[in-house]
Structure 1
Amino acid sequence: MNNFLKYIFLGSLCLTAVSCSDLDQMNVSPNSTSDVPSNMLMEGAEKWAMDNIYDVWFSGRQCLPYSQQWSQRNYTEEDRYQVRESTNNSYFNYLYMGMANFDKVVKLNSDDATKVKNATFGANENQIAAAMIMKVWLMDVITDTWGNVPYSDISKLESDNIMYCKYDDQKDIYAGMIKDLTTAVNMIDASQSAFTSGDIIFGGDASKWKKFGNSLKCRLAIHLSKVDPNWKSYIADALKSGVMESNDDAAKFTYVASGSDYCQFYKGFFTDGRNDFTIARPLVDIMKGQRDSLNNKQHPWEGTLDPRLSVYTTPNADGVYQGIPYAAPTGTQDKFRASSPNWYSTKPMVVQKTYAVPLMTYAELKFILCEYNGYDVADYKDGIKASLQYWYDLAGKSISNTTIDAYVNAVSGNVNAESCALQKYIDLYTNGTEAWTEIRRTGYPEQLIRPGEITCIYDGSKVAFTPLSETKGDIIERVKYPTNESTLNGDNWKAAVAKLTDGTNNYYSKMYWDVRVSKYNHPANK
Structure 2
Amino acid sequence: MYIMKKILYKLLILSMVVGAVSCQDMESVNTDPNNPAGVPSNMVMAGAEKKIMDYVYDNWFSGRQSLVYSQYWCQRNYTEEDRYQIRESVNNNYFNQLYTCQANLTKVIKLNSDPATALAMAKYGNNKNQIAAAKILKTWLYQVMTDTWGSIPYTEASKLDEGIYYPKYDDQTEIYKAMIKELTDAAAMIDVKEKAFLGGDRIFDGDALKWKKFANSLKCRLAIHVSKVDPNWKNYIAEALANGVFESNKDNAVYTYSKTAPEQCNFYRGYFEDMRNDFTISRPFMDILKGQTDTLNAKSHPWAGVQDPRLPIYTTSPDSIGMPLGIPSSSVESGMRTAAPNWKKNPPLCLNADFSVPLMTYAELQFILSEYNGFSVKEYKDGVRASIEYWSGLNGTTVGDAQMNTYIAAVSNNVNAEKVALQKYIDLYMNGTEAWVEYRRTGYPVQLLKPNEISCISGGETLKFTTLSETKGDLISRVKYPTNESTLNKEAFDAAVSKLQDKTNNYYSKMFWDVRTSTNQHPANK
Q: TM-score range by the shorter chain?
A: over 0.9
Displacement after TM superposition at 1:101 (Å) = 0.9
Whether 2:23 is the aligned partner of 1:59: answer: no
Alignment of 1:367-446 (within 5 A): 367-446=367-446
Mapped contact 2:326–2:455 kept (Cα < 8 A): yes
Residue of structure 2 equivalent to 1:447: 447
Gaps of 5+ in 2: none
1:269-328 Cα shifts (integer Å, max 9, x gaps)? 010011000111111100100000110000000000000011100007xxx242111122
CA distance in 1, matches of 2:264, 2:390: 21
Pick from 18, 21, 24: which aligns with 1:17? 21
Q: Which amino acid aligns with 2:235?
A: S
Whether 2:289 is the aligned partner of 1:325: answer: no
Let me know the Cα RMSD of the aligned residues.
1.6
CA distance in 2, matches of 1:353, 1:248: 22
Percentage identity across paired residues of the two chains: 59
Mapped contact 2:183–2:219 kept (Cα < 8 A): yes
1:173-231 Cα shifts (integer Å, max 9, x gaps)? 00000000001000001111011100000000000000001000000000000000000
Pick from 97, 100, 110: which aligns with 2:100? 97
Displacement after TM superposition at 1:517 (Å) = 1.5
Alignment of 1:302-381 (within 5 A): 302-315=304-317, 320-334=319-333, 335-381=335-381
Mapped contact 1:74–1:276 kept (Cα < 8 A): yes
Residue of structure 1 equivalent to 2:12: 8
Greater shift in the superposed pair: 395-404 or 271-280: 395-404
CA gap 1:398/1:61 in 2 versus in 1, 3 angstroms: same
Whether 2:148 is the aligned partner of 1:145: answer: yes
Greater shift in the superposed pair: 160-169 or 437-446: 160-169
Q: Which amino acid aligns with 2:101?
A: G
After TM superposition, the score normalised by the length of structure 2 is 0.97
CA distance in 2, matches of 1:520, 1:242: 34
Whether 2:268 is the aligned partner of 1:266: answer: yes
CA gap 1:76/1:251 in 2 versus in 1, 3 angstroms: same
Displacement after TM superposition at 1:524 (Å) = 1.3
SS of the residue 2:297 aligns to = coil
Mapped contact 1:281–1:324 kept (Cα < 8 A): yes
CA distance in 2, matches of 1:333, 1:255: 34
CA gap 1:216/1:153 in 2 versus in 1, 3 angstroms: same
Alignment of 1:3-152 (within 5 A): 8-18=12-22, 20-24=23-27, 26=29, 30-152=33-155
Whether 2:264 is the aligned partner of 1:293: answer: no
CA distance in 1, matches of 2:19, 2:85: 29
SS of the residue 2:213 aligns to = helix
CA distance in 2, matches of 1:240, 1:87: 42
Greater shift in the superposed pair: 260-269 or 26-35: 26-35
CA gap 1:260/1:30 in 2 versus in 1, 3 angstroms: same
Number of aligned residue pairs? 521
Whether 2:278 is the aligned partner of 1:276: answer: yes
SS of the residue 2:330 aligns to = coil
Mapped contact 1:63–1:433 kept (Cα < 8 A): yes
Alignment of 1:182-261 (within 5 A): 182-261=184-263
Mapped contact 1:13–1:104 kept (Cα < 8 A): no
SS of the residue 2:254 aligns to = strand
CA distance in 2, matches of 1:266, 1:2: 16
CA distance in 2, matches of 1:126, 1:248: 20
Mapped contact 1:290–1:299 kept (Cα < 8 A): yes
SS of the residue 1:23 aligns to = coil
CA distance in 2, matches of 1:487, 1:503: 17
Q: Which amino acid aligns with 2:126?
A: A
CA distance in 1, matches of 2:331, 2:315: 22
Gaps of 5+ in 1: none
CA gap 1:386/1:38 in 2 versus in 1, 3 angstroms: same
Mapped contact 2:255–2:359 kept (Cα < 8 A): yes
